[in-house]
Every structure is written in C-alpha cells, then in structure tokens.
C-alpha cells in the first residue's frame, strides 16, 4: 500500500516537473519562428494510390493526397514551417526509398495580422504518429513542424485571434495534451502602431499635397496678377503715349494755323 502511494506521489511529482520544465522552456525561452512560409514534400504521383506503401512516412508528417488534371494522385507530406525544415525531412524521406520526392511551396501565413500557433512540444527526432489525435481534433488546421537548433518544434494552427488559439489550447488540455500559445506573426500592438503610422503618413502626404496645391494656386494667382498689372501698365503707357502724340499734333496744328493766319494778315496789309 505504501509502495503504491509512493509510486503515485512520484508520478505526480514527475508530471509536475515535466510541466514546469515545459513552462520554463516555452515561456521564458520561447523559440523564434523565422519563417512565415509553409512547405510540403511531394513524395510521388501515382496512377493508383496505395496508402500502405506510404505508411513509413507517417512519422515524418501528415500524408495528404491531391488529384491532378489527368486524374492521377499526388502524394504530399505536410506541413513544414520553413524550407530548411522541409529539406531536413526530405533527406529522411529519400532514405526511406522515395528518391523522386521534392520540396514545394504550400502557403504563407499572412504577415499583415497576428498569427497564433499552439506549440505542442520540442523533440530531438520526429514521430508525428503521436499527434494523430491532435489532427483528428483539428481536422481543418495544419500541424506544423519546424527544425531549429537541432530540435523539431511541433505546432497546431494557425489562428488570427489569440482567443481562438487559447480556446484550442484549452481543448487540447481537456484531452490530456499540453500546449502553449505563441504569436508567430506580428503583435496586435505592432499592427495597430503600423496602422497609426500609415494613417499619419497619409495625413502628412495629404497635408503636403494640399500645401503644394495651395502654393501652386497662389503662385499662379500672383503670376496672373503680375501679368494683369503689366498689361495695365502697358495700356496706361500706350494711352499716355497716344495722348502725348495727340497733344503734339494739336500744338503743331495750332502753330500751323497761327502761322497761316499771320501770313494771310501780312499779305492783306501788302494789298
């Protein structure tokens, strides 16, 4: 009885220590996800797909199939959170005899909003069979693997909302699976700050444009006013010149008339 109680206590302490170690590793020293791009491995293209043939690959990832336009079946191994990881797993796939396998792009986690994953663990070697229950629970989500510093990090996701990711983590907890929520995209604060920065930049550009438009309009109005002033000055000068010309002609005409009159008067006296 005492031995059974001792074993129960020891088991409880070991579980607690394991949990604390995970907490220390994941929260105090979080792993950085350097890539937002996911990759798959195309293992083969089959006329007739036989699942048993690909059973050895299940420990390296989740096997999926996709029909081609000519009704053949692509066999894919998913999902790896950067190309380095995909190439690392590809080497193991080829060692298992699938020599024609190659890495291909799968999808990109948007960097325009937060991306949350639930981290399931860190392992020295891959055995994705242990996550079949997780895949069954989250059939519409990806199970991501990332190779980093000699270890394989395994995640489920992705979520654009922290509450959704937390709910997923809590659901896993009810199934006896521990996990930690991690934001692998930009934080909501960063996105908000960037949106604010973009808004201010646009406002500054709009203000600058309005000021440039105003300055242009003022310059055009000034130029127009100066042109109008110059025009009026020229008109005034022309008018002044015309008046001077007229006055000159009038003086000349008057002088001529007076000379003519004096001449006639002289001639009249002579007679």
Predicted confidence (pLDDT) per residue in 169-218, tens digit: 998 888 888 888 987 765 556 657 767 887 888 888 888 998 999 999 99
- pLDDT at residue number 37: 84
Other CB atoms within 10 Å distance of the CB of residue 127: 12
19-33, 140-154, 248-262: segment of lowest average pLDDT? 19-33
The pair of structure tokens assigned to 208 is 């600058």
236/130 Cα distance (integer angstroms): 100
**Mean pLDDT for the stretch of residues 47-67:** 93
Beta strand spans in 168-246 (E): 180-183
Closest CA to 144 of 44, 33, 265: 33
48: phi then psi, degrees, rounded to nearest 5:
-135, 115
- pLDDT at residue number 107: 85
Q: Mention every residue, 6+ apart, whose C-beta is less than 8 A from residue 4.
A: none
What confidence tier does 11 reach under pLDDT thresholds 50, 70, 90? Answer: low
112/38 Cα distance (integer angstroms): 16
Q: How far is CA 256 from CA 232, 245, 266, in A?
A: 35, 16, 15
The residues that bridge with 154 in the sheet, in sequence order, are 121, 145
Q: What tens digit of pLDDT does each residue of 176-186 get?
A: 888 889 877 65
What confidence tier does 102 reach under pLDDT thresholds 50, 70, 90? Answer: very high
Is 70 exceeded by the pLDDT of residue 24? no
- pLDDT at residue number 34: 35
Average pLDDT taken over every residue of the chain: 82
By percentage, how much of the chain surpasses pLDDT 70? 80
Q: How far is CA 253 from CA 235, 241, 267, in A?
A: 26, 18, 21
39-48, 50-59, 253-262: segment of lowest average pLDDT? 253-262
Is pLDDT larger for residue 18 or for residue 26? 18
């Amino acid at each position: 009885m005492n031995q059974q109680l001792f074993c129960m206590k020891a088991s409880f302490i070991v579980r607690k220590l394991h949990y604390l170690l995970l907490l220390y590793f994941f929260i105090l020293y979080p792993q950085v996800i350097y890539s937002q791009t996911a990759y798959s491995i195309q293992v083969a293209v089959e006329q007739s797909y036989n699942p048993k043939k690909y059973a050895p690959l299940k420990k390296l990832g989740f096997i999926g199939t996709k029909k081609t336009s000519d009704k053949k079946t692509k066999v894919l191994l998913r999902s790896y959170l950067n190309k380095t990881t995909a190439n690392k797993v590809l080497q193991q796939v080829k060692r298992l005899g699938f020599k024609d396998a190659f890495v291909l792009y799968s999808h990109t986690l948007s960097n325009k909003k937060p991306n949350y994953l639930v981290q399931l663990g860190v392992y020295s070697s891959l055995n994705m069979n242990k996550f079949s229950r997780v895949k069954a629970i989250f059939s519409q989500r990806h199970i991501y693997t990332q190779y980093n510093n000699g270890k394989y990090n395994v995640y489920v996701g992705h979520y654009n909302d922290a509450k959704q990711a937390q709910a997923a983590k809590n659901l896993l907890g009810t199934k006896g699976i521990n996990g930690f929520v991690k934001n692998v995209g930009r934080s909501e604060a960063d996105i908000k700050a960037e949106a604010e920065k973009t808004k201010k930049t646009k406002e500054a550009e709009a203000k600058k444009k309005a000021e440039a438009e105003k300055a242009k309009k003022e310059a055009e109005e000034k130029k127009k006013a100066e042109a109008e002033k110059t025009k009026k000055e020229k008109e005034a000068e022309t008018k002044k010149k015309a008046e001077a010309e007229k006055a000159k002609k009038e003086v000349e005409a008057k002088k001529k008339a007076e000379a003519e009159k004096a001449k006639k008067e002289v001639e009249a006296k002579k007679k």
